[in-house]
């Protein structure tokens, strides 16, 4: 029995570790992509480790960018009309070569054969381009020089060496790439400021309002208390899309559309889930403490403020952390109510950055996303002990 118990624990531990690793894969991919150049971010299958590629030329290592990989026998040809280099499969029916295989036709264009590529899936060849040198003080988004035959090579992949090389400057570049307003003012810092202000207001409003309501449901006896609590809990079953239009109409009548007020004022009116969480915790606190305080002449508000709240710090931390994460990651609310880019939050600003251009710089987008996600992860890492304590103690008494 002891061996079976130990074996079951080992299996459970392995399954938990495997599940955790599986859930971490998207985060790892995002962080890895944020440190790559754009060409490596778009490769298939994806690579998790950013690298730089080099070839040997005249005894010197030259940085190059790897492009198309050839895994079947082919020809490298040069179009007579444009001088462009192309890779044509040896079995391509549109390729017509003369006997010495130095010239021929490809479609309607005359071609010159540069070399035969004896590539296979086991020994692939790769088309490389010389890396562009970035000038001091300038941020160059283009990573390669594409025009010019002298800048391109076709060679066996075994001749290309790779070295791990994360691009830390992607983070700085993504901040500047979001744009500026005025002179030297970055939209990213504006988005960050708006998000921090909203987080502080919503956390304060949620903690104060929900703790007051939870105190009334848990520590004060009044007629219809339990029935009213069930009504409050039933509001959790109403999805947000049901009340989205009425709320928008209400805020429009108040003149709040285009401001941050619809995003933080409702948090001062308590939410059902947080009220339930705090009520369960308050009920686990001995009532003798409140009775003793009343004998000493304390009012209900003083009991709530000086006795209950200090004892409920773990639960209050959990509620504050939940609300902080919800506000930090909220996208739908800002999308509905905000109209001016100066009022955008980080989540909405990230979406605006993604859609402002026809093509997306995925490495910059992943760098910006990493900067937005990491603060929440760091916050949870440092508060996980309090978080677990608050969650575990909130359900001790029902």
172 part of a folded domain: no
101 part of a folded domain: yes
**What is the pLDDT confidence band of residue 331, given thresholds at 50, 70 and 90?**
very high
- Does residue 253 share a domain with residue 150? no
- Does residue 303 share a domain with residue 188? yes
pLDDT of 313 strictly over 60: yes
Helix boundaries (H) for 235-337: 240-254, 261-264, 272-283, 287-295, 300-303, 309-311, 313-329, 332-337
- Does residue 57 share a domain with residue 25? no
Q: What is the pLDDT of residues 225-243, one digit of tens each?
A: 999 999 999 999 998 889 9
- Does residue 243 share a domain with residue 352? yes
- Does residue 152 share a domain with residue 184? no
Exposed/middle/buried for residue 164 (C-beta within 10 Å: 0-12, 13-18, 19+): exposed
- Report yes or no on whether pTM surpasses 0.85: no
DSSP state at residue 131: B
203 part of a folded domain: yes
- Specify the number of domains making up the chain: 3
**Residue entry with tokens 């990491």:** 374
40 part of a folded domain: no
pLDDT of 398 strictly over 60: no
- Does residue 374 share a domain with residue 283? yes
- Does residue 74 share a domain with residue 17? no
38 part of a folded domain: no
DSSP state at residue 34: T
Residue 218: which domain range? 180-393
**What is the pLDDT confidence band of residue 274, given thresholds at 50, 70 and 90?**
very high
- Does residue 234 share a domain with residue 88? no
State the CATH number of the domain containing residue 255: 1.10.3720.10
- Does residue 118 share a domain with residue 187? no
């Amino acid at each position: 029995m002891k061996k079976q118990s130990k074996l079951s624990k080992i299996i459970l531990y392995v399954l938990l570790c495997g599940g955790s690793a599986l859930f971490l894969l998207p985060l790892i991919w995002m962080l890895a992509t944020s440190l790559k150049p754009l060409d490596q971010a778009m490769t298939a299958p994806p690579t998790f480790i950013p690298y730089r590629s080099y070839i040997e030329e005249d005894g010197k290592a030259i940085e190059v960018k790897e492009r198309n990989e050839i895994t079947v026998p082919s020809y490298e040809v040069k179009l007579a009309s444009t001088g462009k280099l192309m890779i044509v499969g040896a079995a391509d029916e549109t390729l017509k070569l003369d006997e010495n295989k130095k010239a021929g036709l490809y479609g309607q264009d005359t071609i010159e054969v540069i070399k035969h590529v004896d590539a296979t899936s086991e020994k692939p060849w790769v088309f490389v381009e010389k890396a562009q040198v970035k000038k001091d003080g300038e941020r160059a988004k283009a990573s390669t020089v594409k025009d010019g035959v002298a800048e391109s090579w076709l060679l066996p992949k075994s001749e290309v060496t790779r070295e791990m090389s994360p691009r830390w400057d992607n983070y700085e570049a993504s901040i500047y790439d979001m744009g500026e307003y005025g002179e030297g003012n970055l939209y990213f810092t504006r988005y960050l400021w708006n998000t921090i202000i909203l987080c502080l207001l919503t956390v304060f409003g949620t903690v104060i309002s929900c703790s007051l309501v939870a105190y009334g449901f848990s520590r004060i006896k009044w007629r219809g208390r339990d029935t009213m609590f069930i009504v409050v809990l039933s509001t959790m079953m109403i999805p947000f899309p049901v009340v989205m239009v009425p709320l928008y109409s209400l805020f429009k009548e108040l003149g709040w559309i285009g401001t941050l007020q619809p995003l933080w004022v409702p948090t001062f009116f308590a939410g059902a889930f947080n009220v339930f969480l705090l009520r369960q915790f308050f009920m686990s606190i001995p009532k003798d403490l409140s009775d003793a305080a009343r004998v000493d002449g304390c009012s209900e508000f003083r009991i709530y403020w000086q006795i209950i709240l200090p004892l409920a710090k773990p639960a209050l931390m959990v509620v504050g952390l939940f609300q902080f994460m919800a506000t930090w990651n909220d996208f739908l609310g800002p999308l509905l109510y905000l109209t001016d880019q100066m009022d955008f939050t980080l989540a909405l600003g990230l979406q605006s950055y993604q859609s402002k251009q026809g093509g997306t710089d995925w490495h910059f987008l992943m760098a910006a996303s990493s900067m937005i996600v990491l603060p929440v992860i760091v916050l949870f890492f440092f508060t996980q002990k309090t978080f677990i304590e608050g969650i575990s103690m909130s359900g001790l008494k029902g």
